[in-house]
Structure 1
Amino acid sequence: MGLIASLPEIEKKRNSVFVMHEKSEKLIPLHRHNKGQLSYVEGGIAYITIENLTYVVPARHYFWIPRGMWHTLRLGHKATVLRSLYFYAHDDATDPFYSQLGIYPASELLIQMINYTECWDGRHVGDKDYNFEFLVALKKMLPEKSRKALPIVLPATNNEQMQDITDYLERNIGKRLTLGSVSKQFNIGERSLSRLFQSNLKISFLQYLKTIRMIRAIEMILKTGKPISEIAFAVGYSSINSFSDTFHEFVHARPTDFRKP
């Protein structure tokens, strides 16, 4: 049973943990559930959209979505495996972690524990099952293991002028793009363009450009076998050191780390 078909099943047993491991490339449309969702992304990339914000989840990271939060989920590569645990929510008030969306690098211990749950794929595990305490322990360790949230968030807007500008940046991501050159392209002043980004996207022009470049770089690293230097050039960096430093600023890891098994 796929994730979309399993959505009603998740809600059937309020105090259980529902286990779902799926290899897929698809869009899971806008939905919510009354359980907290822990999902580990393996072998690809996932995108979570909440209102006008899209959060990027690279491989070897996991995310937590609180109960009741409306979201859309897209898996960006056919080899992506999403290993999900949907947890009971009666103890969520014990830590602020459980009430907020977060994306985090996964430790080796957490990866092993999540992978072990594949033996219960497609099942509810409740307090009458011998393995329930294993899942209780896993949930309780999350706040302690989740100190550094991943800050890759891409805002969106319904403003048509801004959409034209952001589409242009996406299409020309490998070129030398500056506030001045983009302003000339759209025949508006630099100050006006800067204000457009702040008023519509709540982010500066430079930060938006860095963000889309890092997202494209992560996608290329995970989906292709191209050398890191070629990827850096393809997303607009002429210096591999500058690219690596910016990448580390966003994901707390070097580009080569994403190639490690």
Structure 2
Amino acid sequence: MEPHNTIDIDKLNKPYFVWFEENWTHDDVLHQHNKGQLVYVESGFQYITIEERIYLLPQNHAVWIPPNTIHKTNSHSERIKLMIMFAEVDQKKSFYREVNVFSVPPVLREMIKYAEKWSKLLDTRTDETLFLQALFNELPHFVEQSLKLHICLPRDKRLAKVIEYLHDHYREEFKINELSDIAMLSSRTLERIFKKETGLTLSKYQQMLKIIKSLELLSSDYMTISETAYEVGYKSVQAYTRSFQTVLQFRPSDFIKNIK
């Protein structure tokens, strides 16, 4: 994630760098950094594309992006408050080589907020280094219950219009013959290629889209669980809750409690 063009993160001669913004703006451009980075969403919601997977960061969630990992960001939130911490890490440890999206527990949340006082500090300070070294040493323990919520972008160009259609019409029940016409493939071929490219069936992919969109709505505080369920295309709150639990292993009400 490239905050702005005013600071070249890779040229900074310090092991850690903190960047906080009240109203974050960024370019939707693929890039990478020598350092790993922890991205924490204090308010709003953030979409991040990492190595052809789209991840969602709701409020009070974070993602660890390994060093030299190609990624880009985009957000539909009107205002977003982000804290980003860049860090030199031991890449021999498997944790630091993997993408992790997770709910931020209270202790880590307070540590991140405390680190705000070093935001955009270009000079190396001992107190900053020692504090952030402790934070990143403990980070693997904080993310043991990682939220594995992402969807894969297919590389096969024949699926591009199908993906676009599903994203634009996720509320509606799709008809396989209509998608086949869009892709100019037989139904059987479309389903086979789609599963191979995304790891999901067409129906499971649509389910993920519905749940991801619902997390976005629940994070906004503008809609109740019931209103969200109908907004993303479920015919009942019960059906939405079952689907939500199937994907995330916890209930919508648990998610709301966690982001408050």
- The TM-score range, normalised by the shorter chain, is 0.7 to 0.9
Q: 1:21 to 1:249 in 2, by over 3 A?
A: farther
Aligned to 1:236: 233
Aligned residue among 160, 175, 183 for 1:163: 160
Residue 7 of structure 1 and its aligned partner are, at CA, apart by 4.6
Aligned to 1:98: 96
Partner AA of 2:177 in structure 1? S
Residue 250 of structure 1 and its aligned partner are, at CA, apart by 3.5
Listed as ranges, the matches of 1:15-34 within 5 Å are 15-22=14-21, 23-34=23-34
Contact 1:197–1:204 under 8 Å retained in 2: yes
Q: Distance in 1 between matches of 2:173 and 2:70?
A: 37
Identity %: 25
Partner AA of 2:150 in structure 1? V
Gaps of 5+ in 2: none
Aligned to 2:195: 198
Q: Distance in 2 between matches of 1:134 and 1:45?
A: 27
Q: 1:68 to 1:161 in 2, by over 3 A?
A: closer
Instruction: Give the structure-2-normalised TM-score.
Output: 0.86
Aligned residue among 120, 138, 144 for 1:147: 144
Listed as ranges, the matches of 1:193-232 within 5 Å are 193-223=190-220, 225-232=222-229
Q: Distance in 1 between matches of 2:7 and 2:210?
A: 33
Residue 194 of structure 1 and its aligned partner are, at CA, apart by 1.6
- Greater shift after overlay, 64-73 or 149-158? 149-158
RMSD: 2.4
Instruction: Give the structure-1-normalised TM-score.
Output: 0.85
Aligned to 1:183: 177
Aligned residue among 109, 112, 132 for 1:111: 109
User: Which digits, 9 at most, give the CA deviation of each residue in 1:26-60, with x for residues without a partner?
Assistant: 43422211111011112122122134221222211
SS across alignment from 2:207 = helix
Aligned to 1:56: 56
Does residue 258 of structure 1 match 2:256? yes
SS across alignment from 1:29 = coil
Residue 182 of structure 1 and its aligned partner are, at CA, apart by 2.6
Contact 2:154–2:194 under 8 Å retained in 1: no
SS across alignment from 2:200 = coil
Q: 1:86 to 1:183 in 2, by over 3 A?
A: same
Partner AA of 2:116 in structure 1? E
Gaps of 5+ in 1: none
User: Which digits, 9 at most, give the CA deviation of each residue in 1:100-124, with x for residues without a partner?
Assistant: 1111111000001001111111014
Does residue 122 of structure 1 match 2:116? no
- Greater shift after overlay, 186-195 or 238-247? 186-195
Partner AA of 2:97 in structure 1? S
Contact 1:162–1:200 under 8 Å retained in 2: no
Q: Distance in 2 between matches of 1:68 and 1:189?
A: 39
SS across alignment from 1:5 = coil
SS across alignment from 1:19 = strand
- Greater shift after overlay, 224-233 or 208-217? 224-233
Residue 161 of structure 1 and its aligned partner are, at CA, apart by 4.0
Contact 2:3–2:25 under 8 Å retained in 1: no
Residue 160 of structure 1 and its aligned partner are, at CA, apart by 4.7
SS across alignment from 1:31 = coil
SS across alignment from 2:137 = helix
